[in-house]
A and B are shown apart, each in its own frame.
Chain A
């Protein structure tokens, strides 16, 4: 397939733009932006080509570069896995990156920022790393690009390095995600040690499997009891089920870090110190998605572990609710969006945990679009407000920046989950899957699902509220500051990307209107079909990364099954949609009644002590900072004292005793050490020569 031959260029083009912008950006017009736009545009076109080829039924899983072949029993490679999931993700990443590059012309170039080559180099390297992560066909390659993505995030959050905030936020982002990646790395090493491979999907040649994947090996071990090829079990003294769960949870550490899930979510709100286009690209639409994408990528491995599924679902549901409550009281527009991002990724985790593979990928897609839109819209507002982000200084921007307003409104309706905007369809499907699997699954797992569902459902109300609190404060009412009365105009390079994303946020939900499809029987759940593949043969038979396979596994091992408690499938479907839509609307209406007036006032004081708790983000930052500076650092200093006093003290004690005698003899020496440099050297050479002559060598 020609498209697959050129697929590596999707990753390489942005990498080239990184090099060009870094070394030649200051000699180019627009500081290297054009290189980035060209490269991501090219990658976007190639991704479309790849997606079309995948749509034609072809998939690709091949080794591209052998990182090390030195140890024959375990070779480590880079390879491409192009299947419907990665093709979709390629489209998302390339599209958002392309639009963010264009938007940056307005946000960075037009605002007269310095250091633009560094900025565009960072964007290029980020895009390349993210795309490398997306196409990775094995876990080690995924880990490597996962870390590189973290580096780029560090560089871009800290872009304004001359200030105090951004470097600190960058450090925190890297450190917190590194903590997660520590567990991920153990998981990677463990999976390679256990299965002898890190492949996500089997590599086949002419229908024969030439290299098996680790999810398939795990499946054979659990379902068919074939444990011959599985190492490590004896070493750790566990059964396959328990050990695979441990490995899965270890990898999940990285996921929780990158996708900013509780308790490693604290870095993301701080990351808003970076330029707003970066927040849109990295901290909303793509990098944060990497964690969720990884779970989807190796879903076959999680589907056989009920414990891991329960953990994913509960972490997701809890994070969705927890982050949404913190978003209620924030005063800065980007902070609201940051907490909503954490919350929305919680929904995706909830979906993955509760067997809603399609729902998760669907929400990942719609969220990427509408959250990128909201961040870019916020960026537009920030340009207009001369970089004041406080919503209480805004108001009334609706009439002064209509394009931003209408597109932002579309994104907000999508985020709140109002029909027919994109977020409604995907969030509804997430909750529906959690609900039916919660009722259908026996035992603790089902209970976990229902608990997670309840948390996710409650979060819908809060989401509607904080979203429209933001909309009303920013755009409605009277202008509350001079800047808001006379905002700076924005140009085509801001309005263009907003319009594209605005249209998408309105319409992209139509790719998977599962409820409508069920009601009418029309085959319009395209995403579902995209990820299911043909009934017989085709790519699912080759890769086993299709929905049917996952559903079978979920049914067979953890016994995740659907049940319809409210009047059959249709009735449950409608009831679930009605409940979530009703809660979202209620949230919107409450926001309107509190903040919709001409001159809104802050109502958060009515929350009393709760307000303080929410404003301090449940003291999550405080305890983590305390762990670093209150526990680890004093411990390090105590160890340093121990080292200086005890370990080195013993040495010095020994030496002072023995040197006492020596100090007498030392007086014979003249004192200038340097003068015998030559003497000592000469002496050694003479000695060597003497030995040489003795040995009859010369």
Chain B
């Protein structure tokens, strides 16, 4: 019921905001989005205090929290139902989504000055889809939401974006749609070669795990082929090298609040789906392919960080560094250890908060300076002390400063992958290579900060550059506090995450 209520309230809010006058749309959308945010935080609280030790939604369907299943329709022999529910993996992601949406909406008040009702309506519609993605436990339902995210995102970039918005929006749309198609093909090849009767995710997990006598194509088992196709499909979303080139364009052209959602939540759809489908349903294949997958992760870490080093646009810097940070998640997932997989999931939350914060900081600066280019401005600390203070804190959070969420996520991943049995003797080497990301990230962020925030103030404008408005800084402060809270007490999320990860580890080889 709770999930349905979240979906319905937000969907209703979407309609209301669409019909409201532009002048009030921002405030109204913020007020409406507080409802799912508070609702999901209450659910989080209930989960934390009452569902201790609840297992994985796909592997132990008996004890799924907030679950609701209503038969819906039959596609051929396959039962489709409205089936939602949460476990320790999806619960934090759901809370991240709703909280970040509210903050992103508030952060849009200043920059979005046309077609507000449509903008905020689409933001809320995106929230509906995202809530659906993280709570759906039926593949059909899940896929509707999964694709449903693309439409608002496409329009948000394409309408409110920068000069090259059409190129970026279409690139984003084509990229992710082709990826969905490939993923769909991979998955349904398996669905049709097993005797599935239902499209619910637990049923799929059960069927794929026990599947035997699958056909081989050119000597390769169908399971492996499907795994690769699905990995490709989801990896575009993450994104990993070399499927990442849509991301910087999308980020640069998207208005900042949309970048916040893109980096903060949309990228996590990819890693979330990887964890649910590739690493849970096809866990055995994932273990076999661990080393090449880990190499992809490590290459993403270093490649993304090196590219960030070459950028001059603050948004591009953060965009490329997202590729780097998400590479850690891949490394953690393939480890198949509590710290590795749990840390990867924790990193999704941590990076969601920190990258959201970084983009918002860049956005607040851009609202004032109308440039994002390192070198166009310097000495901003002189004029916007609190914004810059939070920017510096956020940047150190991104660099993995201890007692902030990013360090916890990265440390857990490193700890989990350093002696991961799936990686064998390559484990310490690959982990150590990935760790070098923490040096490069310090390099580009410190360089960018030195050039833009410090030194003598200089910026060519015909107006006075002053501190940002309170409603611009407040979301930054909220996010920073969340980042610190998760860094000081990671068990707020990490406990429920590891509880839901452990059934995955017990599959096949065990932890």
Query: Which residues of chain A come closer than 8 Å to B125, judged between CB atoms?
Result: 681
Interface residues of A in 406-451 (CB under 8 A from B): none
Separation of A190 and B490 alpha carbons in the complex (Å): 21
Asked if B139 lies at the interface with its beta carbon under 8 angstroms from chain A, I say no
Please state if A147 and B402 are interface contacts (CB–CB under 8 Å): yes
Partner of A182, one of B118, B158, B436, B497: B436
Interface residues of A in 148-182 (CB under 8 A from B): 148, 151, 155, 158, 161-164, 166-168, 170-171, 174-175, 178-179, 181-182
Total residues of chain A contacting the partner, CB 8 A: 71
Asked if B111 lies at the interface with its beta carbon under 8 angstroms from chain A, I say no
Asked if A625 lies at the interface with its beta carbon under 8 angstroms from chain B, I say no
Please state if B455 and A151 are interface contacts (CB–CB under 8 Å): no
Please state if A167 and B454 are interface contacts (CB–CB under 8 Å): yes
Query: Which residues of chain A come closer than 8 Å to B158, judged between CB atoms?
Result: 673-674
Interface Cβ pair total, 8 Å cutoff: 191
Query: Which residues of chain B come closer than 8 Å to A71, judged between CB atoms?
Result: 338-339, 342, 498
Q: Which of A158, A635, A681 has the most CB of B within 10 A?
A: A681
Partner of B402, one of A143, A158, A232, A697: A143
Asked if B415 lies at the interface with its beta carbon under 8 angstroms from chain A, I say yes
Query: Which residues of chain A come closer than 8 Å to B510, judged between CB atoms?
Result: none
Separation of A691 and B74 alpha carbons in the complex (Å): 11
Partner of A694, one of B73, B396, B419: B73
Separation of A126 and B44 alpha carbons in the complex (Å): 35
Which residue from chain A places its CB closest to the CB of B442 in the assembled complex?
Answer: A178
Asked if B24 lies at the interface with its beta carbon under 8 angstroms from chain A, I say no
A198 to chain B, nearest CB (A): 11
Query: Which residues of chain A come closer than 8 Å to B148, judged between CB atoms?
Result: 684
Per-residue 0/1 for B428-443: is the Cβ within 8 Å of any A Cβ (1 yes, 0 no)?
Answer: 1001100110110011
Please state if B303 and A639 are interface contacts (CB–CB under 8 Å): yes
Asked if A593 lies at the interface with its beta carbon under 8 angstroms from chain B, I say no
Given contacts A162-B456, A235-B424, A639-B310, contact A189 B418 (CB under 8 A): yes
Asked if B42 lies at the interface with its beta carbon under 8 angstroms from chain A, I say no
A25 to chain B, nearest CB (A): 13
Asked if A594 lies at the interface with its beta carbon under 8 angstroms from chain B, I say no
Given contacts A175-B442, A231-B419, contact A633 B310 (CB under 8 A): yes
Given contacts A162-B379, A190-B428, contact A175 B443 (CB under 8 A): yes
The interface-forming segment of A317-325, A370-378, A379-387, A640-648 is A640-648
Please state if A186 and B155 are interface contacts (CB–CB under 8 Å): no
Please state if A171 and B450 are interface contacts (CB–CB under 8 Å): yes
Please state if A648 and B72 are interface contacts (CB–CB under 8 Å): no
Partner of B309, one of A151, A158, A636, A678: A636
Asked if B83 lies at the interface with its beta carbon under 8 angstroms from chain A, I say no
Asked if B307 lies at the interface with its beta carbon under 8 angstroms from chain A, I say yes
Separation of A695 and B403 alpha carbons in the complex (Å): 50
Please state if A193 and B415 are interface contacts (CB–CB under 8 Å): yes
Given contacts A162-B456, A673-B166, contact A74 B339 (CB under 8 A): yes
Given contacts A175-B446, A185-B438, A697-B72, contact A164 B455 (CB under 8 A): yes
Per-residue 0/1 for B43-79: is the Cβ within 8 Å of any A Cβ (1 yes, 0 no)?
Answer: 0000000000000000000000000001111000000
Separation of A695 and B18 alpha carbons in the complex (Å): 28
Separation of A193 and B338 alpha carbons in the complex (Å): 13
A187 to chain B, nearest CB (A): 10
Partner of B443, one of A66, A231, A628, A637: A628
Per-residue 0/1 for A619-636: is the Cβ within 8 Å of any B Cβ (1 yes, 0 no)?
Answer: 000000000100011011
Please state if A161 and B447 are interface contacts (CB–CB under 8 Å): no
Please state if B415 and A189 are interface contacts (CB–CB under 8 Å): yes
Separation of A628 and B306 alpha carbons in the complex (Å): 12
Interface residues of B in 343-369 (CB under 8 A from A): none
Interface residues of B in 1-29 (CB under 8 A from A): 11, 14, 18
Given contacts A144-B402, A161-B453, contact A640 B310 (CB under 8 A): yes
Interface residues of B in 234-285 (CB under 8 A from A): 241-242, 244-246
A380 to chain B, nearest CB (A): 28
Please state if B309 and A647 are interface contacts (CB–CB under 8 Å): no
Separation of A638 and B12 alpha carbons in the complex (Å): 50
Query: Which residues of chain B come closer than 8 Å to A70, judged between CB atoms?
Result: 338, 342, 490-491, 494-495, 497-499
A14 to chain B, nearest CB (A): 15
Separation of A66 and B455 alpha carbons in the complex (Å): 41
Separation of A696 and B74 alpha carbons in the complex (Å): 11
Which residue from chain A places its CB closest to the CB of B249 in the assembled complex?
Answer: A648
Interface residues of A in 65-112 (CB under 8 A from B): 66-71, 73-74
Partner of B72, one of A155, A179, A232, A695: A695
Per-residue 0/1 for B149-172: is the Cβ within 8 Å of any A Cβ (1 yes, 0 no)?
Answer: 001100100110000001001010
Which residue from chain A places its CB closest to the CB of B242 in the assembled complex?
Answer: A647
Asked if B427 lies at the interface with its beta carbon under 8 angstroms from chain A, I say yes
A67 to chain B, nearest CB (A): 7
Partner of B307, one of A186, A643, A680, A685: A643
A600 to chain B, nearest CB (A): 37
Interface residues of A in 651-670 (CB under 8 A from B): 651, 655
Separation of A677 and B125 alpha carbons in the complex (Å): 11
Given contacts A189-B418, A189-B431, contact A674 B118 (CB under 8 A): yes
Asked if A2 lies at the interface with its beta carbon under 8 angstroms from chain B, I say no
Separation of A167 and B454 alpha carbons in the complex (Å): 7
Query: Which residues of chain B come closer than 8 Å to A170, judged between CB atoms?
Result: 450
Asked if B82 lies at the interface with its beta carbon under 8 angstroms from chain A, I say yes
Which residue from chain B places its CB closest to the CB of A685 in the assembled complex?
Answer: B11
Query: Which residues of chain A come closer than 8 Å to B407, judged between CB atoms?
Result: 144, 147
Please state if A167 and B450 are interface contacts (CB–CB under 8 Å): yes
Partner of A163, one of B82, B392, B399, B455: B455
Given contacts A639-B310, A640-B310, contact A148 B403 (CB under 8 A): yes
Please state if B159 and A677 are interface contacts (CB–CB under 8 Å): yes
Query: Which residues of chain A come closer than 8 Å to B71, judged between CB atoms?
Result: 695
Query: Which residues of chain B come closer than 8 Å to A643, judged between CB atoms?
Result: 245, 303, 307
A396 to chain B, nearest CB (A): 36
Per-residue 0/1 for A182-220: is the Cβ within 8 Å of any B Cβ (1 yes, 0 no)?
Answer: 100110011011000000000000000000000000000
Given contacts A148-B401, A680-B155, A691-B73, contact A178 B439 (CB under 8 A): yes
Q: Which of B407, B427, B450 has the most CB of A within 10 A?
A: B450
Asked if B122 lies at the interface with its beta carbon under 8 angstroms from chain A, I say yes
Separation of A648 and B306 alpha carbons in the complex (Å): 16
Please state if A151 and B415 are interface contacts (CB–CB under 8 Å): no
Query: Which residues of chain B come closer than 8 Å to A235, judged between CB atoms?
Result: 419, 424-425, 427-428
Asked if B189 lies at the interface with its beta carbon under 8 angstroms from chain A, I say no
Please state if A691 and B72 are interface contacts (CB–CB under 8 Å): yes
Separation of A236 and B429 alpha carbons in the complex (Å): 9
B348 to chain A, nearest CB (A): 16
Separation of A404 and B61 alpha carbons in the complex (Å): 76
Per-residue 0/1 for B167-198: is the Cβ within 8 Å of any A Cβ (1 yes, 0 no)?
Answer: 00101001100000000000000000000000
Asked if B471 lies at the interface with its beta carbon under 8 angstroms from chain A, I say no
Please state if B382 and A162 are interface contacts (CB–CB under 8 Å): yes
Asked if A453 lies at the interface with its beta carbon under 8 angstroms from chain B, I say no
Separation of A155 and B388 alpha carbons in the complex (Å): 13
Separation of A155 and B389 alpha carbons in the complex (Å): 11
Query: Which residues of chain A come closer than 8 Å to B456, judged between CB atoms?
Result: 162-164
Separation of A147 and B407 alpha carbons in the complex (Å): 11
Separation of A237 and B419 alpha carbons in the complex (Å): 12
Which residue from chain B places its CB closest to the CB of A185 in the assembled complex?
Answer: B435
Asked if B311 lies at the interface with its beta carbon under 8 angstroms from chain A, I say yes
A55 to chain B, nearest CB (A): 32
Query: Which residues of chain A come closer than 8 Å to B241, judged between CB atoms?
Result: 647
Which residue from chain A places its CB closest to the CB of B392 in the assembled complex?
Answer: A155
Task: Sort A-B residue pairs by CB-CB distance and give the 10 closest, nearest first.
Answer: A144-B402, A695-B73, A167-B454, A695-B72, A640-B310, A636-B309, A636-B310, A648-B245, A70-B498, A674-B159
Q: List 16 A-B contacts (CB under 8 A).
A: A69-B491, A70-B499, A71-B342, A140-B411, A161-B381, A162-B379, A162-B381, A167-B449, A168-B450, A182-B439, A185-B414, A189-B415, A232-B428, A639-B310, A643-B307, A697-B72
Q: What 8 additional pairs, Cβ within 8 angstroms, besides A163-B455, A185-B438, A647-B244?
A: A70-B498, A71-B339, A171-B449, A655-B174, A677-B155, A681-B14, A681-B125, A681-B152
